[in-house]
Structure 1
Amino acid sequence: MNAAKPRFGTSLKPFKRPRLWAGLWMLAIAVVVIGSLLPARDLPSVPVSDKFEHFAAYAVLSAGAVQLFVRRLSWGFVCILLVLMGIGLEYLQAQMGLGRQLDRADALANTIGALIGLASAFTPWRDALLRFDRRP
């Protein structure tokens, strides 16, 4: 009896390098968390609205989940967790006393970004990463 070796991340799409893509996605989440909790004075000055930064970051994280995971349930679950993470980070900013404050507009931008990223599931780009790195 030859039992098949369970593959890493059975909820992930059949990538050649699933650990690489999952690791990069988790690193992106860590970057967003760390960037959200840095003191205001340590943030780089960028020529775009901070609302756009929030929107783009959460859209990329949510679209990344669509690229990584097979099931729609996983996509929705990640989207909900990202929305909760965005709200939680806004509260932490207010509580940590690092020159940052709770901004409901930032939380809204995070939420809209997560929803737009989730909407990428309904486009031809849904499996772009899989087409690039499919397991033989």
Structure 2
Amino acid sequence: MSAAKRRFGRSLKPFRRPWLWAGLWVLAVAVVVIGSLVPAHDLPKVPAGFDKLEHSSAYAVLAAGAVQLFSRRLSWGFVCVILVLMGIGLEYLQAQMGLGRMLDRQDALANTLGVLLGLATAFTPWRDALLRLDRRL
């Protein structure tokens, strides 16, 4: 077995289709990044405070996806730290890029709470739901 295959297999759970699931997760991360950098005038209007729910939900899905993909707790922790830093960085970029958006610390906090919520799925029976689905398909 090649070193690259062993290394790839060490972090991910033993999926039959690891590239599919990892690719979909990376696509979800890209959607969040792109959605975070869309100019303000292109965004739909939402009720006050609802955007915080959007932020926390998006980051919860990304973190829960990491729990579904990766088998090691160290990997979960690393990905969650990266997601928190990504959320903070995107808030900073929104303010710097002149997109009609501003840095909002409450959005960064909502992102972080979403990451923690997604990470909490590691302690539920749904922790291996994607692995079970992959084996059935």
RMSD of equivalent CA atoms = 1.6
For residues 128 and 16 of structure 2, what CA distance do their matches in structure 1 show?
14
Quote the residue 2:18 is aligned against: 18
Quote the residue 2:97 is aligned against: 96
How many residues are matched? 132
Q: Look up the equivalent residue of 1:113 and give its one-letter code.
A: G
For residues 51 and 18 of structure 2, what CA distance do their matches in structure 1 show?
32
For residues 77 and 7 of structure 1, what CA distance do their matches in structure 2 show?
19
For residues 26 and 76 of structure 1, what CA distance do their matches in structure 2 show?
17
For residues 45 and 128 of structure 2, what CA distance do their matches in structure 1 show?
34
TM-score, normalising length: structure 2: 0.91
Quote the residue 1:32 is aligned against: 32
Quote the residue 1:111 is aligned against: 112
Quote the residue 1:69 is aligned against: 70
Deviation track 1:95-130 (CA, whole Å, cap 9, x = no partner) reads 011110000000000000001100100000000000
Tell me if the contact between 1:8 and 1:18 (Cα under 8 Å) persists in the aligned partners.
no
For residues 88 and 82 of structure 2, what CA distance do their matches in structure 1 show?
10
Q: Hey, which bits of structure 1, 4+ residues long, moved more than 2 A?
A: 4-9, 44-48
- The alpha carbon displacement at 1:28 in A equals 0.3
Structure 2 stretches lacking a partner, 5+ long: none
TM-score, normalising length: structure 1: 0.92
Structure 1 stretches lacking a partner, 5+ long: none
Cα gap change, 1:127/1:63 in structure 2, threshold over 3 Å: closer, same or farther?
Answer: same
Tell me if the contact between 1:14 and 1:134 (Cα under 8 Å) persists in the aligned partners.
no
